[in-house]
């Protein structure tokens, strides 16, 4: 399974990062892409309030709590460090075509910086690190520049650079200890053929759209 592209929307406070992310999300979804978003909060957050059942589950020792309803599903999971964007994508968001993050300015992700003249004179990032800049004024830099309203242009850029595209109909991914391992065509064919061949012999298995196998060694 391929790792979906992850693009960080960065910029100084008050420049409109969330607004641009909303426009990009709407444009990508309008083209039929499956999009996930990640908001990085260095100060932490709390969605399971004291006294609620989910809070009581966690207090009782649950390492993970899932909140499920007919419309939404939420996972609250304890972690021992601040997960990098790649860890989040690999563990939770593999099925999407695009992941947009707000924050992670210190990461090595490809970045689109939002710049507004009345808020800041300088960019937050080195222009050499930027995929593009969404700005309300022309900047003397080499990075591609788009208006703050030009979400279609930015999504076009992602498509042109092959950073956004629907996953192929047939794909296989191997993760060992949480790290993605690239497979050559021969290995993909052998592994997928063996797994599908065995699973199709099982009683009650008809159409196979996805197949997930987890192996934990002793």
Q: Which pLDDT score is estimated for 134? A: 97
Structural contact between residues 23 and 149, judged by C-beta atoms closer than 8 angstroms: yes
Q: Choose from 84-93, 136-145, 174-183, 203-212 the range with maximum mean pLDDT.
A: 136-145
Q: Max CA-CA distance within the chain?
A: 66
Out of 20-34, 107-121, 197-211, least confident range:
197-211
Q: In whole numbers, what is the pLDDT of the chain averaged over residues?
A: 85
Q: Which pLDDT score is estimated for 151? A: 97
Q: Which residues of 4-35 are buried (b: 16+ CB within 10 A; e: fewer)?
A: bbbbbbbbbeebbbeebbebbbebbeeeebeb
**What would the pLDDT profile of 79-102 be if each residue is shown by its tens digit?**
888 888 888 887 788 788 899 999
Q: What is the mean pLDDT of residues 191-196?
A: 90
pLDDT surpasses 80 at 6: yes
**Cα(84)–Cα(40) distance, rounded to whole angstroms?**
10
Q: Tell me the CB-side half-sphere exposure of residue 1, using CA atoms within 13 A.
A: 18
Residue 164 phi/psi, 5-degree rounding, is -140, 125
Residue 121 phi/psi, 5-degree rounding, is -85, -35
Q: Which pLDDT score is estimated for 39? A: 84
Closest to 110 (Cα-Cα) out of 53, 162, 188, 146: 162
Q: What is the mean pLDDT of residues 69-87?
A: 83
**Cα(163)–Cα(7) distance, rounded to whole angstroms?**
9
Q: Which pLDDT score is estimated for 180? A: 65
**Cα(179)–Cα(19) distance, rounded to whole angstroms?**
33
SS3 of 143, please?
Answer: coil
pLDDT surpasses 60 at 31: yes
pLDDT surpasses 60 at 170: no
Q: What is the mean pLDDT of residues 101-127?
A: 91
């Amino acid at each position: 399974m391929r790792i979906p592209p992850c693009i960080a929307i960065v910029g100084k406070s008050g420049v409109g990062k969330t607004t641009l992310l909303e426009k990009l999300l709407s444009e990508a979804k309008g083209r039929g892409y499956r999009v996930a978003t990640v908001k990085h909060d260095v100060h932490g957050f709390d969605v399971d309030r004291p006294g609620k059942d989910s809070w009581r589950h966690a207090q009782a020792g649950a390492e993970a709590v899932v909140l499920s309803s007919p419309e939404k599903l939420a996972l609250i999971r304890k972690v021992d460090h601040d997960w990098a964007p790649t860890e989040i994508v690999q563990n939770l968001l593999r099925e999407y075509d695009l992941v947009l993050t707000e924050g992670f300015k210190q990461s090595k992700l490809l970045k689109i910086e939002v710049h507004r003249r009345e808020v800041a004179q300088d960019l937050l990032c080195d222009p050499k690190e930027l995929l593009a800049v969404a700005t309300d004024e022309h900047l003397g830099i080499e990075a591609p520049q788009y208006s703050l309203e030009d979400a279609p242009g930015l999504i076009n850029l992602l498509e042109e650079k092959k950073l956004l595209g629907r996953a192929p109909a047939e794909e296989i991914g191997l993760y060992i200890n949480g790290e993605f391992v690239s497979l050559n065509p021969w290995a993909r064919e052998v592994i997928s053929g063996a797994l599908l061949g065995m699973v199709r012999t099982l009683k009650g298995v008809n159409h196979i759209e996805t197949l997930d196998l987890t192996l934990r060694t002793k």
